[in-house]
Amino acid sequence: MKYKILSSLAVLTALAYAAMATDYTLRPGDQLSIVVAQQEDMSTSVANSSVTPYQVRPDGKVSVPLVGEVAADGMTVGQFTDTLRQGLAKYIIDPDVTVNIIKLGGIRVYVFGEVNKPGVYELTKSHRVIDAIGAASGFNWDTAKKKIFLIHQDNPEKAIPINLNHILQTGDMRENYEMREGDILYLTKNSRINFARDIAPIFNSAYMVSEIKNNDN
Q: Is residue 7 part of a domain?
A: no
- Fill in the amino acid letter for 46: V
114 lies in the same domain as 207: yes
* Total domains in the fold of the chain: 2
212 lies in the same domain as 112: yes
169 lies in the same domain as 197: yes
| Residue 101 backbone dihedrals phi, psi, to 5 degrees | -85, 120
pLDDT, residue 159, reads 84
| Strands in the chain per DSSP E | 31-36, 54-55, 61-64, 68-71, 97-103, 107-113, 119-123, 147-151, 159-163, 184-187
pLDDT, residue 196, reads 54
Domain final position from 46, 72, 103: 103
202 lies in the same domain as 129: yes
pLDDT, residue 61, reads 95
Q: Is residue 188 part of a domain?
A: yes
CA distances from 15 to 29, 92, 114, 130, 206 (A): 24, 38, 23, 10, 30
pLDDT 10s per residue in the chain (217 long)? 444 444 445 545 445 444 555 577 898 889 998 988 887 767 665 444 446 789 999 899 999 988 999 999 989 999 999 999 999 999 999 999 999 988 888 888 999 888 888 888 988 878 889 999 989 988 877 776 677 889 888 887 788 999 888 888 888 888 999 888 889 998 887 666 555 555 566 555 554 444 434 444 4
The CATH number of whichever domain residue 205 belongs to comes to: 3.10.560.10
Q: Is residue 96 part of a domain?
A: yes
pLDDT, residue 44, reads 67
128 lies in the same domain as 207: yes
Q: Is the Cβ–Cβ distance between 188 and 139 less than 8 Å?
A: no
Q: What's the CA gap between 84 and 100, in Å, rounded?
A: 13
pTM of the model: 0.60
122 lies in the same domain as 159: yes
Q: Is residue 64 part of a domain?
A: yes
Domain final position from 103, 134, 158: 103
Q: Is residue 17 part of a domain?
A: no
Q: Is residue 5 part of a domain?
A: no
Q: Is residue 33 part of a domain?
A: yes
| Residue 68 backbone dihedrals phi, psi, to 5 degrees | 90, -145
- CA angle centred on 83, ends 82 and 88, rounded to 5°: 95
Domain final position from 71, 103, 135: 103
182 lies in the same domain as 112: yes
Q: What's the CA gap between 76 and 3, in Å, rounded?
A: 35
Q: Is residue 150 part of a domain?
A: yes
pLDDT, residue 124, reads 81
pLDDT, residue 201, reads 60
161 lies in the same domain as 86: no
Domain that holds residue 125: 106-216
